[in-house]
Amino acid sequence: MSKPRSFLDGRVVLHPGDCREVLRGLADASIDSVVTDPPYALVSIVKRFANSPRSERTENAENPYGRTGRGFMGQRWDTGETAFAAEFWEDVLRVLKPGGHCVAFSGTRTYHRMVCAIEDAGFEIRDQLAWVYGSGFPKSHNQKGDWAGWGTALKPAWEPIVLARKSLSGTVAQTVHQHGTGALNIDGCRVHADDAQGGAYTIKRFKPGATLDKEGGTWKPEGDGPLYHGEMKPGRWPANILHDGSDEVVSAFPESAGQQGVVTGNEPSSPFANVYGDMPSRAGRAEPRGDSGSAARFFYSSKADANDRVGSKHPTVKPVDLMQWLCRLVTPPGGTVLDPFAGTGTTGEAAFREGFRAVLVEREEAYQADIARRMKLAMAGPDERARESIKAKIADKPQDLGPLFGEVA
C-alpha cells in the first residue's frame, strides 16, 4: 500500500489502497461516524461474465459479485465482494466508537445484500433513507411488433441509504456523554423554510394513564396547570426522504397544508374518539393554518451539478451538499468521518466544510487524483472550480484548435 496523503492541514487523510487492508491498520474505536457510497454491483451476473473467459462457476462460485467481470458502465470496481461481506463490516464496526452511526448508499436491486451484511456484522439497523431524483434514465429492453409498448425496466428515481448504529455503551445519554456518539443531530439538520419559523404553542395535558373514553378526571388538575406552554423550534424535523429539488420530483408531491389548524388547547374531545371511523367534523372550530404548498417542502433538498464533479469522470458522484447533510446528521462536533469507498472524495470535502476530520480510502488511482484535485479546490470559489473542472475534462483529449489566423485565401 502507498503512504497516506494529507490535505487541508491534515484534516483530510487519504489512504490509497484496498479498504479491507487499510481498515486493519486503523485503531479500535477511533472513528465517530461512517458516511460512504459503496459500489452497487448493479449489472446482472449474466452480463457480468458475458465478455469474460472466466465464469462464476470456475472462478468465484462463493462470491458471484466478485471482481471476475465488469460492473456498472463497464467499471471493474463496481462489485459486491467487499460491501456485501459481513467480514468487512465487522472491521468497520471495530473502528467505530460505541454508538457510532454508519450511513451507506446502495442500489434498489442490491440494497438487501449490503444491509444483511451490515446487520450480520453486528450493527443495529436504525432506518432506511431514500434519496429521490428526477434525472434517472430507464435502461429498458423495449419490445417490438405485437409486444410494442412492453419493456424490461422502470425508470430509476431513488437510491436507498441505510442508517445503522454500533451498540451503545449503556444508555443513549451515557454513550453521548462518554463518546459523543449514539444520537442524531436533529436540530442541526432541521429543514428551514419561511413557513417553519417556530414559535409558542399551547396544548392541554392528560393525567398519566388517562384515556379519552373516560368521563371526567381526564385532564391534569389546575394546580399542575392543565395547559402546557411550549416553544416550537424553527425548522422542520428532518425526515428520511431527501430529494434533488428537480421539478419532476417536487411535482410528484401533493399540495399539503400540514396540520389542519392551529392548536389552541381547547379542542373538544369525544368519549368515542378511539373508535374506528368516529372522526367528527370540526368545521368552524379551528383557526386555519397559514401554510400551503407542496409536501416536498418538508424534506431536505439537494441538487448535483458540475461544481460537485470538479472535472471527474466518475459515473456516480454524489452532491457535496447531500454528503454534508449526512455527515452533520451522524457526526459529533469535531468528530472524524470514515469513508472506505471514497470515490472522488465528496465525503472528505463535506466533512471538511462541516468542521470534521475525514479518513478516506480509495483503491483506484484515477479517483485518487480526483480526490487530490477536489481537496486543492475545497477553499476555492465557483469560478476557479469551474476552470479547473474544464481543465480536468480536456486533459487527456488532443485539442485541434485549427490554424492561428484561420484559412488563408
Which pLDDT tens digit goes with each residue over 173-214? 999 999 999 999 999 999 877 666 777 777 666 556 555 555
Residue 305 forms part of a structural domain: yes
**Structural domain count of the chain:** 2
Is the same domain home to 268 and 352?
no
More confident residue, 119 or 48: 119
Q: What is the pLDDT of residues 365-400, one digit of tens each?
A: 999 999 999 999 998 888 888 888 788 777 666 555
Mean pLDDT computed over 69-84: 58
Is the same domain home to 25 and 112?
yes
Distance CA 265, CA 226 (A): 9
Mean pLDDT computed over 343-362: 97
- Chosen domain end from 268, 292, 316: 292
Is the same domain home to 262 and 309?
no
Distance CA 15, CA 3 (A): 7
Is the same domain home to 25 and 118?
yes
- With cut-offs at 50, 70 and 90, classify the pLDDT of residue 172: very high
Is the same domain home to 25 and 133?
yes
Which segments within 166-268 are labelled E, that is strand? 199-204, 227-232, 241-243
Is the same domain home to 171 and 35?
yes
Is residue 96 scored above 90 in pLDDT?
yes
More confident residue, 58 or 345: 345
pLDDT in the model for residue 316:
82
Mean pLDDT computed over 46-61: 48
- Chosen domain end from 244, 266, 292: 292
Residue 60 forms part of a structural domain: no
Is the same domain home to 264 and 386?
no
Among 250, 65, 70, residue whose Cα is nearest residue 157: 250
Highest mean pLDDT among 254-268, 286-300, 370-384: 370-384
Distance CA 101, CA 126 (A): 9
Residue 157 forms part of a structural domain: yes
pLDDT in the model for residue 349:
96
Q: What is the pLDDT of residues 4-32, one digit of tens each?
A: 999 999 999 999 999 999 999 999 999 99
Residue 366 forms part of a structural domain: yes
DSSP per position, 135-184: ----------GGGTT--S-PPP-EEEEEEEEPPPSSSHHHHHHHHS-SS-
Under 8 Å CB-to-CB from 6, ≥6 apart: which residues? Answer: 12, 13, 14
Residue 239 forms part of a structural domain: no
- Residue linked to cell 471476475: 68
Residue 193 forms part of a structural domain: no
More confident residue, 59 or 40: 40
- With cut-offs at 50, 70 and 90, classify the pLDDT of residue 224: low
Is residue 407 scored above 60 in pLDDT?
no
pLDDT in the model for residue 133:
87
pLDDT in the model for residue 304:
62
Residue-range definition of the domain harbouring residue 228: 199-232+257-292
Q: What is the pTM of this model?
A: 0.77
pLDDT in the model for residue 230:
75
Residue 54 forms part of a structural domain: no
Distance CA 164, CA 176 (A): 16
More confident residue, 6 or 62: 6
Q: What percent of the chain has pLDDT over 90?
A: 49
Is the same domain home to 208 and 347?
no
Distance CA 127, CA 246 (A): 25
Is the same domain home to 171 and 209?
no
Is the same domain home to 84 and 178?
yes
- Chosen domain end from 274, 292, 310: 292
Q: At 106, which CATH number?
A: 3.40.50.150
Is the same domain home to 163 and 219?
no
Is residue 90 scored above 90 in pLDDT?
yes
Residue 403 forms part of a structural domain: no
Is the same domain home to 171 and 104?
yes
Is residue 79 scored above 70 in pLDDT?
no
